[in-house]
Each structure stands twice: as structure tokens, then as C-alpha cells.
Structure 1
Amino acid sequence: MVDTEPKQLSLLSVASLLIVKDRSHKKSNRKPLR
């Protein structure tokens, strides 16, 4: 499946990175989820 759509994996990686960054910013505003 990964071989068929290598671009999708890249997009997912970028999205994951963005989400992680967003979480980091939100953590500063309020307590961590954990």
C-alpha cells in the first residue's frame, strides 16, 4: 500500500508534524492532557 502512494505518506508525516507543533503550543496555554 505504501509503495502505491508514497506521496500520501509524506503528507501524513507533514500533518503529524503540524499536529505535534499545535499540541506543543496548546500545552503552553493549558495543562497537558497526560
Structure 2
Amino acid sequence: MSLKFITAAEAANFIKHGYNVGLSGFTPAGSPK
């Protein structure tokens, strides 16, 4: 399996005005999500 990494700015381009973004899952305290 090939993994592709993109920058935060590139990822932000996928989120258009008016979209709702939901996150789920366990994240330890102090970790960015």
C-alpha cells in the first residue's frame, strides 16, 4: 500500500465554504486533531 501525505493547506482545500466537518475517535489530551 502506498501512502500519500499532503500539507494542511492542501487538505484545507478539500473543505468548501458551508461544509460541516465532524471528527470522531479517541485522541489523547494535548494531541492535535
Report the TM-score range of the alignment, normalised by the length of the smaller protein. Answer: under 0.3
Of structures 1 and 2, the larger Rg is shown by: 1
Query: Does 1 or 2 have the higher relative contact order (CA < 8 Å, sep 6+)?
Result: 1
Which TM-score applies when normalising by structure 2?
0.18
Q: Which of the two has greater helix per residue?
A: 1
